[in-house]
Amino acid sequence: MSSVSSAQIRERHTALMERIARAAARSGRAAQAVRVVAVTKAQPLPVVAAAIEAGLTRLGENYVEEALEKIAAFGPNLEWHMIGHVQRRKARETASHFALVHSLDSLALAQRLDRLAGEHGHRLAVLLECNVSGEASKFGFAAHSPGERAGLVPAVKEILRLPNLTLQGLMTVAPIGPTPQAARPVFAGLRGLRDWLCAELGQPVWPELSMGMSDDFEVAVEEGATLVRIGRALLGPRPSG
């Protein structure tokens, strides 16, 4: 049995969107500029079914094998997002099953995804995962210091040349802090990095910033998030064990 009903999820989603709207208004943005990715990682199939029944169709997964089970159960017509680290050996399934990969974290992975997407005859939308906090435990392109940011430029130039990838923006994971406000410099840093990279590369500003989760999404929205990755605040805690 599901531990959460579709009615509960619908109620939580309504409250979440109200909080997003208020956060967007505080920074002079429209609420419609922010989209929620419901993080179904580690949630059992009945909870995912309840989320879909509640009207959530943009779903985020961290692990390819788990995502494939859910895609098989609920169909590919939902908008599946890969938000976790992509292992090299899982690149083929990643290239063929997801609407957006948030976690492109190396040129080598980009080249592999490009080749595999080409084999499937489609263009894959991607975000660059960037480590703007400098945490050693975080995946992503190193982008904490000015030197690291400058070093990103050649790699991103190569990624932009890949014919089967469409670069749409950046993603980051903020450190867990004592308050949501502690994440603000990280979110502001990602927005600044996006704007700086686009200026350096002569690109139109990429539209997407994936940042913010259940504990800090309002700060992320204030700093420009267009995609917030929400699990617990929508679906409740993940089952233990």
Confidence of residue 206 (pLDDT cuts 50, 70, 90): very high
User: Which tens digits make up the pLDDT trace of 178-202?
Assistant: 999 999 999 999 999 999 999 999 9
Fold of the CATH domain 6-234: TIM Barrel (3.20.20)
pLDDT at res. 241: 55
User: Which tens digits make up the pLDDT trace of 36-88?
Assistant: 999 999 999 999 999 999 999 999 999 999 999 999 999 878 999 999 999 99
pLDDT at res. 1: 46
Query: Which of 90, 164, 108, 100 lies closest to 127, judged by CA?
Result: 100
DSSP state for residue 179 in the 8-state scheme: S
Which amino acid, residue 193? Answer: L
pLDDT at res. 2: 53
Q: Which two tokens stand for residue 211?
A: 């940042």
pLDDT at res. 238: 87
Query: Which of 197, 210, 193 lies closest to 144, judged by CA?
Result: 193
The helix (H) or strand (E) run that includes residue 97 is: helix 91-97
Sketch the domain layout of the chain as residue ranges. Answer: 6-234
**Burial state string for 47-75 with b = 16 or more CB within 10 A and e = fewer than 16:** bbbbbbebebeebbbbbbeebeebbeebe
